[in-house]
Amino acid sequence: MDKIKMTAGMTWALVCLVFMIVFYFGLGSFATGFSKLPFMKLNPNTSGGEVAGEVVMDNCTLVIRKPVFEGFLGERRKGFVQVDWRGEVSENINDTVDFNFDQIPDFIIVINRDLNDASLIAFNPVVKDIGLSAPTSYGWSVRVRINK
Amino acid sequence: MDENINNQSMRKSFGKSLLYTLPMFLLTFVLMTGGRPDFSDRHGTIALLITFVGLNILYFLMHYTGKTDKLRAVLFIVFALTLSFTLIKNMVDIRQTMTYSQGDILECNMPFCHLVIPMLILPAAFTQSIIYPGSILGGFASISAMVVLWLGASVILGRGFCSWGCFYGGWDDGFSRFRKRPVIRKIGDSWKWMPFAVLLMVALTSALALTPTYCDWICPFKAVTEFEEVTGIESAAKAGIFISLFGGLVVVLPILTRKRIQCSFLCPLGAINTLSNKVSPFTVKIDRQLCNDCLKCVQVCPVFALTKDDVKKGNVSIFCTKCGKCIDACPKQAIHYGIAGVPASRMVKFSRNIFLFVSFLFMAIFASGSIITVVKSFVNLFI
């Protein structure tokens, strides 16, 4: 029994030795392979959700994401919808957003970029308030809290 | 006298040490240059050569002197310092500040570090997604590359990752070596289970909130890498917590106790790595026939992995980070690196040689990138 244990231990150690030598050479491929696993995608709470639609404006594009309600076990009652302004965003943003694309405006968002001040006028009762409002490398992003 | 016996047992002749260093020399050269050395950038070449030579001298000395811990610590501490410098430099280059903004979170371009891994497990299992606002693949410190690096190292080294791979551990390790004697000697042994409680707490809270709570609220190393821009009470409180925990657990307590307090009592990844010690083929073994129960090993162990009972039973607990401090300190040469399944006192030199090769190669290549960056910055300043 002791000999079997010794042989197994030695074999495992030698496999590890070989693996360590190969490891760094193959790191790029291992990482690429790992990134293809089903769970290797950003959670919508992190990424902001999939793009639901775009509204092309004069100098920039308004990107409206799908509402995010994902929770740990099932969906939450409270969520958010992320809106991005991409391109040459004007100093003062004042846009009407229809996030569920039912042709009825859901909220108006007013942002003074200089003062980093954002305010919201809600038309849809599910729309609550502004969760996040921040400049990004591509323009500006806002997360508006909504209820289901 | 005893010290000499210990040194002589593991030390090799100059020629033999060179011979043992040769494979490391070749592998580090190929891996550091990507197999295609490009010497067109003069300063880059100087930095590469300094790093390459420095790494191989350390490895050579491990064989030549027969000592492990102090030489490992040199690289480990340099790794921690240079990594923090590189990370901050990268932040400053990209964002002109070492703080990150809400915009960086919204854009998901936060660099990923291995300490986030405990918080990813439950959401990955239940929601099939990653809750960290970083890049899955590509860019600086992608999630995929870091997880693969950690996984590979943890399977091979077990909790040895905490002494041979973690780019934060060097901070604790460095400060724990500041004083020759500890000021605080008596520390409850049961505190070493604390990381499991932290692990449970951050794993559950992260899963429920779907945000990495340890990074948001606890991680002491935010103080030396990047932290949220202070824009209000909440972000100020977070910054206060990061700095206090860093000051307390990484600086002050390690200095006073000569122990790696943050690694031993807080780190949730350390708790996972403790379990991975069961998978790794490399262990530390105590030869009861040689041991004289002086308990010097218990005294010097920086992570509370050895107790009086462990020594009497001839076992090293799963908390061991394989730093080699107890091995170097043992006056009777009763402790040595071993391989799972191989009895204590058998194949001692072979076990050490193979473990050193594997663990040093991992740390050397992992650390080389940030060391080269820092050396190059110095070269740019002076040449």
Chain A residues with CB-CB distance to B282 below 8 A: 13, 16
Is A72 close to B210, i.e. CB distance below 8 A? yes
Question: Locate tokens 């190393």: which residue?
Answer: B221
Q: How far apart are CA B152 and CA B169, in angstroms?
A: 18
* Domain enclosing residue A9, as ranges: 2-35
Q: Are residues A30 and A92 in the same domain?
A: no
Residues A87 and A108 placed together within one structural domain of the fold: yes
Question: Both A123 and A77 in a single domain?
Answer: yes
Whether residue A123 sits in one domain with residue A59: yes
Low-confidence ranges of chain B (pLDDT < 50): 1-8
Residues A10 and A55 in one domain: no
Q: What distance in Å separates residue B170's CA from the closest CA in chain A?
A: 22
Contacts of A72 in chain B (CB under 8 A): 122-123, 126-127, 207-208, 210
Spatial CB neighbours of B210, under 8 Å, sequence gap ≥ 6: A43, A45, A46, A70, A71, A72, B123, B127, B131
A52 shares a domain with A23:
no
Could you read off the pLDDT of B288-316 as tens digits, one per residue?
999 999 999 999 999 999 999 999 999 99
Q: In the structure encoding, which two tokens stand for residue B43, read together?
A: 């300063």
Q: Rounded distance, CA B156 to CA B153, Å? A: 5
Q: Most A CBs within 10 Å: which of B25, B28, B129, B140, as the mutation test of the A interface?
A: B129
Q: Which residue of A has its CA nearest to B145?
A: A31
Cβ atoms within 10 Å, residue B84: 22
Whether residues B144 and A6 touch (CB distance < 8 A) is answered with no
Helix axes A2-25, B348-382, angle to 10 degrees: 20
Cα–Cα nearest to B368, from B142, B33, B110, B113? B33
Alpha-carbon distance of B247 to A52, in angstroms, equals 46
- Chain A hits for B341, CB-CB cut-off 8 Å, are 5-10
Query: Could you tell me which chain B residue has the CA closest to the CA of A132?
Result: B102
- Placement of tokens 């193959």 in the chain: A26
Interface probe with B: pick from A11, A36, A42, A117, most Cβ of B within 10 Å: A42
Q: Are residues A21 and A49 in the same domain?
A: no
- How is residue B128 written in tokens? 């099939």
Mean pLDDT of A91-119: 92
Question: For residue B33, what is the nearest residue in chain A, using CA coordinates?
Answer: A25
Distance CA B150, CA B141 (A): 12
Q: How many CB pairs under 8 A join A and B?
A: 140
Report residue B373 as tokens: 């960056």
The domains found in chain B, sorted by start residue, are 1-72+348-375 (no CATH), 98-276 (no CATH), 281-344 (3.30.70.20)
Q: Are A67 and A27 members of one domain?
A: no
Q: Which amino acid is at A42?
A: L
**Closest among A25, A39, A50 to B117, alpha carbons compared:** A39
Please state the domain count of chain A: 2
Residue that is written with structure tokens 């000021």 in the block: B183
Contact at CB, A20 and B156, closer than 8 angstroms? yes
pLDDT for residue A58: 85
Please indicate whether, in this complex, the C-beta atoms of B130 and A46 are within 8 angstroms of each other.
yes
pLDDT of residue B102: 86
Question: Which residue type does B200 have?
Answer: L
CA distance B351 to chain A (A): 9
Both A16 and A78 in a single domain? no
Share above pLDDT 90 across residues of chain A, in percent, rounded to a whole number: 86
pLDDT for residue B365 = 96
Q: Is residue A21 located within the same domain as residue A86?
A: no
Does A65 lie in the same domain as A128? yes
A84 and A134 share one domain: yes
Residues of chain B found within 8 Å of residue A86, distances taken between Cβ atoms:
none
Closest CA–CA distance from residue A125 to any residue of chain B (Å) = 25
Question: Residue B300 CB: number of other CB atoms within 10 A?
Answer: 18
CA A94 to chain centre: 24
Residue in this structure with the two tokens 């102090």, named with its chain if needed = B70
Q: In terms of DSSP bridges, do strands B99-100 and B227-228 run parallel, antiparallel, or are they unpaired?
A: parallel
A chain contacts of residue B143, beta-carbon cutoff 8 Å: 35, 40
Residues linked to residue A78 through DSSP beta bridges, in sequence order: A147
The per-residue DSSP string of A39-66 comes to T-SB-HHHH---EEEEEE-SSEEEEEEP
pLDDT digits (tens, 9 = 90+) for A45-74: 999 999 999 999 988 999 999 999 999 998
Distance in angstroms (rounded) separating the CA atoms of residues A59 and B370: 41
pLDDT value of position B79: 97
